[in-house]
Amino acid sequence: MSVAISRRKENADGYMTAGNRIGFGVSAASMTATWIWASSMYASVTAGYTYGVSGPIHYGLWGALMILFIYPFGRRIRKVAPKAHTLAEVMYARHGRSSQLMLAGSNVLGSVISLTSNFIAGGAIIAMLSPLSFGAGILIVAGGVLLYTLWSGFRASVLTDFAQVMAMLGATVIVIPVIFFAAGGPSMFADGVAVGNVTAQQQSFFSSDAFMNQGAPYIAAVLAYAIGNQTIAQRLFAVREDLIKPTFITATVGYGGTVIGIGMVGVMALYLGITPMDGDVNNLLPQMAGTYLPLILVGLAFLMIIGSLSSTADSDLSALSSIVMADVYGQSVGRDNAKPKLMLLIGRITMIVATGAALFFATAQFNILNLLVFVGALWGCLVFPVIASFYWKKVTNLGFTLGVLAALAVFLPVRFQWIPITGAWAVIVEALSIIGVGVVLGIMAFGFFGRNVAVIVGALATVVMIPLGFGFLRDYEVLAGSLVAYAVSFLVCYLLSFRSKQDFDFDTIRHVTGDFDPEDPVAAAASSSDDAGAVGSTGAVGSAGAIGTAPTWATAPRGDDNPDAAR
């Protein structure tokens, strides 16, 4: 597929966002495939094994809502920045360099961690199901993903995502039922309880352990993942603007159903009393597949996991290359001065360097679930300043920057307990956490119902939490860390901005962001005709109106405003 869609002369904007006109079939499949990554599967299985039946629900449900809650904000972001490539690029237009670098830096950190975790997952399953070592496994996965993504970038990523998500979903509906019946069917649950493999909390659909240790932190993290992850933003900028809603709803349903289903493999392992190989819970999924599936279905499970990690890994590579191309190079020299050929070279070199870095970090074999929780909480520092910057004209660069830095300064000692959460410090942390609950729910309400409802919801949630939170939240540092990040960024950003005289014109963003590559229309049309045939074969699987049929970079005018003058 990558060879079929490749061009001798790639377009820099196509390399980053495919011209902002991807159709529904490819965009929905790509969004789903990107978020059903190997880490989702492994972490959901870990949640099922750790917290019982409610574990995968708390993981998959909130992960799915993460996609849904970005939808109303996504429409606003596309409205003010229809031709942008990254959220950091938009923050440059809105506030300036410091805010852009903060968002870009967090995106790079998140994408490298994501890439690393996918390589770990690939290496683990190859080592478990073949004679090859873990090191050989991560090299094979990294080399394969880099090979098909390097030349065409985002265009290759979204089109291969379609095939990968079809393979993943097809394998899931076969593999899980077969494991269930091979492991004993419904009787395994009664047997597991009888021999004492599960606790009362692990048997409950309403486990407080699962909610407080996983569900609640994920509720706090859903907005953070959606705002902070460039892979989501990249697809938001790539899909046709009128197809944002169906794309996000479809991805929500696809992600939730699949990830919750996969997590039940961990629940089965718990009831069966299985001990993870080498004590590593990341081994549970391939271990269950190798134990209960016949050889041909082991191959199918292998395909499912490899498809999930490949689709996300290529998205991470595309995200990292876009950040470096648009934010590090493009905006530093100015959009009108950027050289498209050099941008493409920078993008490809970024992919190679990122792959090497992720391979290095993969040898450390971090706990995937802990990595996900940490990154989500870290992005929580950015949520309010970023969202407010798209709606509130008074938000200043000082408010944005100090809000994020202050939130990070409080989040780190709480999350990692550098200061024991006791005494006066515990009261402060709990007070901020209670405010954080109001901020999270208020932002969620704002996306769908507007400011007035958001203020009411946020205020009520804060008041309700006052008698419940004090003396209680100090025992849940993961949740408290996420909530204080929201609260501090909100308080600092709001207090530094509400008396501001700034009256920002959002049309400025449209002028400052835009295409970097003024491709010759004649050459683009000829290239488009060639691609129509190539991508048309992909269209047979549902990508009508997608990439090759109407490349925006062939027809859309290049931004005609000088960025500095516009600012």
Query: What confidence score (pLDDT) does residue 369 get?
Result: 59
Q: Kind and range of the H or E element at 428?
A: helix 423-449
| Dist CA 109 CA 111 (whole Å) | 6
φ, ψ of residue 268 to 5 degrees: the values are -60, -45
Query: What confidence score (pLDDT) does residue 538 get?
Result: 34
Band of pLDDT at residue 29, cut at 50, 70 and 90: confident
Band of pLDDT at residue 31, cut at 50, 70 and 90: confident
Say which amino acid occupies 492: V
Query: What confidence score (pLDDT) does residue 356 get?
Result: 92
- Range 394-421 average pLDDT: 90
Decide if pLDDT at 567 tops 60.
no
- Range 433-450 average pLDDT: 91
- Range 336-354 average pLDDT: 90
> Bridge-partner residues for 239, per DSSP?
22
| Dist CA 560 CA 540 (whole Å) | 38
Q: Pick 279 or 8 by higher pLDDT.
A: 279
What is the share, in percent, of the chain residues with pLDDT greater than 70?
88
Query: What confidence score (pLDDT) does residue 298 get?
Result: 86
CA 235 to chain centre: 11
Query: What confidence score (pLDDT) does residue 161 get?
Result: 84
Please state, as a whole number, how many other Cβ atoms lie within 10 Å of the Cβ of residue 1: 16
Write out the two tokens for 247. Answer: 């794309």
> Which whole-number Å values give the CA distances from 168 to 36, 126, 357, in the listed order?
9, 17, 27
- Range 196-223 average pLDDT: 79
Summary count for the chain: helices (H), strands (E): 28, 0
Place of tokens 């069917």: 185
Say which amino acid occupies 68: L
Query: What confidence score (pLDDT) does residue 544 get?
Result: 33
- Range 119-144 average pLDDT: 87
Please state, as a whole number, how many other Cβ atoms lie within 10 Å of the Cβ of residue 9: 12
Decide if pLDDT at 261 tops 80.
yes
| Dist CA 473 CA 257 (whole Å) | 31
Tell me if residue 239 falls in helix, strand or coil: strand
- Range 30-34 average pLDDT: 82
Helix segments in 363-396, DSSP class H: 368-391
- Range 322-350 average pLDDT: 87
Tell me if residue 474 falls in helix, strand or coil: helix
Decide if pLDDT at 7 tops 80.
no
Band of pLDDT at residue 551, cut at 50, 70 and 90: very low
- Range 456-480 average pLDDT: 89
| Dist CA 464 CA 471 (whole Å) | 15
Query: What confidence score (pLDDT) does residue 530 get?
Result: 45
Band of pLDDT at residue 365, cut at 50, 70 and 90: low
Indicate the pTM of the whole model.
0.80
> Which whole-number Å values give the CA distances from 143 to 88, 113, 138, 438, in the listed order?
29, 17, 8, 45
What average pLDDT does the chain have? 82
Q: Taking the CA atoms of the chain, what radius of gyration do you get in angstroms?
A: 23
- Range 146-170 average pLDDT: 85
Write out the two tokens for 521. Answer: 């229309």
Tell me if residue 358 falls in helix, strand or coil: helix
Decide if pLDDT at 371 tops 80.
no
pLDDT tens profile 492-520: 999 999 888 889 999 999 888 888 877 65
| Dist CA 160 CA 81 (whole Å) | 27
The answer to whether residues 83 and 512 touch, using CB atoms and an 8 Å cutoff, is: no
- Range 248-265 average pLDDT: 88
Query: What confidence score (pLDDT) does residue 2 get?
Result: 80
Band of pLDDT at residue 387, cut at 50, 70 and 90: very high
Decide if pLDDT at 565 tops 80.
no
Of 72-76, 136-140, 160-164, the poorest mean pLDDT is in 160-164
- Range 51-62 average pLDDT: 86
Say which amino acid occupies 201: Q
CA 214 to chain centre: 17
Q: Pick 100 or 66 by higher pLDDT.
A: 100
- Range 545-563 average pLDDT: 35
Q: Kind and range of the H or E element at 44?
A: helix 38-51
- Range 481-489 average pLDDT: 91
Band of pLDDT at residue 28, cut at 50, 70 and 90: confident
The answer to whether residues 301 and 170 touch, using CB atoms and an 8 Å cutoff, is: no
| Dist CA 493 CA 508 (whole Å) | 21
Of 129-133, 253-257, 374-378, the poorest mean pLDDT is in 374-378
- Range 378-391 average pLDDT: 88
Q: Pick 297 or 529 by higher pLDDT.
A: 297
Tell me if residue 22 falls in helix, strand or coil: strand
The answer to whether residues 217 and 482 touch, using CB atoms and an 8 Å cutoff, is: yes
Band of pLDDT at residue 556, cut at 50, 70 and 90: very low
| Dist CA 95 CA 401 (whole Å) | 9
